[in-house]
Structures are given as structure tokens and as C-alpha cells.
Amino acid sequence: MPRRISRICAPLSLGLLALLFSGPAAAQQYPNRPIRLVIPFPAGGNVDVFSRVLFRQVEIELGATFVIDNRGGANGIVGADTVRSAAPDGYTIMNTSFGFAVNPSIVKKLPFDVLRDFTPITNVATGLGYLMVVHPSVPAKNTAELIDLARKQSLRYSTAGIGNGQHLAGALLASMTKTDLLHVPYKGGGPAMTALLGNEVQIHFPAASVGIPHHKAGRVRSLAFTGAKRLATLPELPTIGETVPGYVGDAGWHAMFGPARLPPAITTRLQQVVRKALQEPKINAHFVDNGYEPNGDTPEVWAKQFREDVKKFAAIAKAAGIEPQ
């Protein structure tokens, strides 16, 4: 009997040892091939622009190549579903916007569970707000004039999709000012800006990184900033709250996720290199100058905040009157 038990226990012990050491071993060998970074929005939008800046530095820190895969559609759902179904080996990860936390409250049938089917890696940066820009043909020169115009006629505003920060910013403004602002969602920030430039819509709420070049070139007219305080890079631009007391429309966050069951050692490794890249002066300044606060919290801290945000944004979407579709 003792011999039989020892024969059974030996393989079990080896199996347990393999489990114990698989995490560290995986981290030591990782990465040994290019990593696919899924951006669940078209090229040219807010998340895409910041990702391309950040991950050039992450490549240096990690010693790996990142291949950006833009998978736009359905407010990030199409790209996120690609990551959900990927192998949890660290070679397919996602950088997305806070619309990912809003989707459960505004989409009736998601193809995944955001809390169960993904591994939170880190929060990249928190947005302080959006620019509120209009097409040059719009006669309004400031927020008060835009509100007056919107009370006389229906105005359209474009966003990167239903339920994202741009949508909430516009819906909140319409609600607080009792104006007729018609939401027109697109498949990403790039197409939403293109719609404004082509005069398909009158208003857009781009991130500063996307909107400022068009502002400086005179292709759009910037009326205000949606954040709680003025944008450092455009201090002459007032906030909407200076005209509409109590209004604050922040830009949520950018954050990284992997498939469920991503090994903790790899998750931590990715978080550490992203945090180090964010501390590089030029990268840090790029985020700050464009209205974002760099983060890079540990997976544990970020996972807790993410769970809280899913609940918080459900309350915001309800208050803004956004019905699940």
C-alpha cells in the first residue's frame, strides 16, 4: 500500500510544483514574440493616438514589439470580444476607453461579461475633460451663444459611440440646459471628428490630443472645455461650467485588459513596464499637456476601481436618460 500511494503522489507532487513555478517561469520567458495590442476603435481617435505614443516607449521598456490592431465597432465591443476569445498568454491585450465600463449599462446583450471575461492590467491615464468644438459655419462663438442657438433649432453632435464619455458629456449638457442636442454615434473618434469637419454634425467633443491640431489649423472653433478646470495647454478656453454652473464632463480613462485567467506574473510585468513608460518625461508631458493624468496602478488597485466604475457609470447613464439598446 505505501508503494502504491507513493506512485500516485509522485505525479501529483510534480503537477503541483509545475503549477507553483509556471507563473514565474512564464514571466521570465515573456515575451518571446510580438504582442498584439488591440485598440477597439478606428485609427485616428483618442485611444489610438495615445496608444501609439505610449507603446513606442513600452516597446523599449519591455524589449518587445507591439503590433497595433484597430478593431473598431459598437463602442469598443467588437475589439473587446476579440481579446475575450484570445489565449490568456499575454500576446493579445487591449487598450480601451471607459466606455468599456459603461457598455454593460447601455447594451442589452453584450457578448461577454466585463467583470468575468477579462483581466484588468492597469489604468493608463484619467482624462480631465474634452474640448467642445463646432464647425466654423456655426454662428455661436461661446457656450452661451451655442445654448441659445440650440434652443431655437436642433443641433447634432458626433461621438465615438453610444455610452462613451463624449456621449455622456453631450447628454449632460442637453439635460442641464434643456436644449435639443441630437446624438449621432460613429464607430470611433476619428470618424466622429471627420463628420464634424465635413459639416455632417455641428458639435463634437474630442480629446484635446485630437482636437487641438484642428483648433490651431482653424478647421474647428473651440468653445469650451468640459472638465472641472481650464486646460493647461489652452488656458484662454473657458470651461462649460463657467457658463452652466455645476457642469463637469470628464473624459473617463484609458486602461489595459487581457483575457480572463491571464497569469499574474505576466499581468504584473505588463503593468510595471507601462507604469515606467508613463514616468518617462516626454510621455508624461504628452498626457498632461493633452488633459490626462497618467496612472499605471497595480492590477489589484485597478481591478477594484474598475468594479466600482462599472457601478458608477451605470448610475450616470441612468441620470443622463440613456436607455439600453
pLDDT tens-digit profile of 31-86? Answer: 999 999 999 998 988 899 999 999 999 999 999 999 999 998 888 999 999 999 99
Query: For residues 293 and 291, what is the distance between their CA atoms, to the nearest angstrom?
Result: 7
- Model confidence, pTM: 0.75
Q: Give the Cβ contact number of residue 179 at 10 Å.
A: 18
Measuring CA to CA, how many Å separate 16 from each of 5, 153, 206, 261?
16, 69, 51, 18
Rounded-to-integer distance, Cα 304 and Cα 317, Å: 20
Q: How far is CA 269 from CA 15, 255, 298, in A?
A: 25, 15, 10
10 Å Cβ neighbour count for 154?
Answer: 10
Q: Give dist(CA 97, CA 196) in Å, integer.
A: 21
What is the SS3 assignment for 89?
A: coil
Burial environment of residue 72 by CB neighbours within 10 A (0 to 12, 13 to 18, 19 or more)? buried
Write the CATH number of the domain with boundaries 131-242. 3.40.190.10
pLDDT of residue 320: 65
| Phi, psi (rounded to 5 degrees) for 164 | -85, 180
DSSP string, 234-277: -TTSPBGGGTSTT------EEEEEEETT--HHHHHHHHHHHHHH
Contacts of 95 (CB under 8 A, 6+ apart): 37, 38, 39, 47, 51, 54, 55, 124, 254, 255, 256
Q: Are 96 and 79 in contact (CB under 8 A)?
A: yes
Same CATH fold, 131-242 and 34-126+252-319? yes
Q: What is the pLDDT of residue 297?
A: 98
Domain boundaries, the chain: 34-126+252-319, 131-242
What pLDDT shows up at residue 27? Answer: 57
How far out from the chain centre does Cα 171 lie? Answer: 19
Per-residue pLDDT of the chain (325 residues; tens, 9 = 90+): 444 333 333 333 434 444 444 455 555 689 999 999 999 998 988 899 999 999 999 999 999 999 999 998 888 999 999 999 999 999 999 999 988 998 998 888 899 999 999 999 999 999 889 999 999 999 999 999 999 999 999 999 999 887 778 888 998 899 899 999 999 999 888 899 999 999 999 999 998 888 999 999 999 999 999 999 998 889 999 999 999 999 998 778 999 999 999 999 999 999 999 999 999 999 999 998 888 899 999 999 999 999 999 998 787 777 667 777 7
Of the candidates 249, 202, 196, the residue with the CA atom closest to the CA atom of residue 225: 249
Is residue 137 within 8 Å of 234, Cβ to Cβ?
no
The reply to whether CATH 3.40.190.150 applies to domain 34-126+252-319 is: yes
Q: What are phi and psi of 293, to 5 degrees?
A: -105, 115
pLDDT of 14 reads 39
